[in-house]
Structure 1
Amino acid sequence: MTKVYPNAPSAESPSTPPSDLTADKEEVMTVWRKSLLFNCQGFTVFDGEGNLRFRVDSYSGGRNDEIVLMDSCGKPLFSIRRKRLSLTETWLIYDKEETVEPLSSVKKHVTLLPSKGLAHVTPCRPRSPHSYSVEGSYAQRSCTVYDGQRNTVAEIRRKEAPKGVALGGDVFRLVVQPGVDLSFNMAMVIVLEQMYGS
């Protein structure tokens, strides 16, 4: 059986979390749409060396209205909550486990015309991450995150096993450009899963 990533630690022995969450070079992470914990749903994310980088563990089935992105040791990085009573599907990203003032708002792109647009990210605080737009197809695992100047910040791409065998939609790559926050881009992947996932 093909492994998602060879250095995957067990849930009982998580690796030490990296101290810097900003990519200093292009970072290619493997995202597995599965929790390492038994009977949980979520995500497990490995860096390019096969070390556990991020995780999401959810005990409830189906869509969640609140999700926590954690580092490899289970320390909360972002809380992601669905905004209630919104005309378009909107998710709010909070720092760690805060519930008062969100860092950013992610709104699903809605149009009657054909469009590659998936979502728009808007800062909610002065020091929040910049505005982003996400285009492509999440179902095909082919998305690009652009900043306000249309520079590519991150990409979601399909992943193939070494012998060219496609691993399916549950395993894919998150490619983050230098100088960009890895964890915030993973938070956007979680929002896209809630908006466009199965």
Structure 2
Amino acid sequence: MLTAHSRWEVYNGDNSVFSAKRSHAIQLKTKLQVFLANNVHEHICDFRVEGSWTESSCVIYAGESSTIIAQMHKKRSVGSVLLGKDKFIVTVYPHVDYAFIVALIVILDEIN
């Protein structure tokens, strides 16, 4: 769900799971800060997404560290251009929730 503050809120039923927002209002490259529901003060993000939609790729990091937890790039094909059916190649590192990564990629796709 997109809020009026350009923040995406993700729920599991009635329970908030996480929120994502752009790091800055104007960006050349997409940068999202992701906050888990229990991070109420949001001083430091729990995860961050950095990507380039023109290059059709992104990297998802744990917090402010350089630890990569997942990577994505779009696979370009004639079918994806003509039929509008995008294909994503996603690498999810061990011990990372696949559904969480997919949710972040969907948000990134919707933003762009």
Measured against the shorter chain, the TM-score band is 0.7 to 0.9
Alignment of 1:152-163 (within 5 A): 152-159=68-75
Alignment of 1:1-198 (within 5 A): 81-83=1-3, 85-86=4-5, 89-95=6-12, 98-99=13-14, 101-112=15-26, 116-125=29-38, 131-148=46-63, 149-159=65-75, 166-167=76-77, 168=80, 170-196=86-112
Structure 2 unaligned runs (5+)? 40-44
Distance 2:29 2:66 in 1: 14
Larger relative strand fraction: 2
Distance 2:89 2:71 in 1: 8
Larger relative helix fraction: 2
Name the larger-Rg structure: 1
What is the aligned residue count?
A: 100
Distance 1:117 1:192 in 2: 8
Q: CA deviation at 1:115?
A: 5.5
TM-score normalised over the length of structure 1: 0.45
For residue 16 of structure 2, give the secondary structure of its aligned residue in structure 1. coil
Moved over 4 A (4+): none
Structure 1 unaligned runs (5+)? 1-80, 160-165
Across the aligned residues of Structure 1 and Structure 2, the Cα RMSD in angstroms comes to 2.2
Same amino acid, percent of matched pairs: 25
Contact 2:30 2:53 in 1 (8 A): no
TM-score normalised over the length of structure 2: 0.75
Distance 1:124 1:192 in 2: 19
* Code of the aligned partner of 1:94: Y
Q: CA deviation at 1:140?
A: 2.6
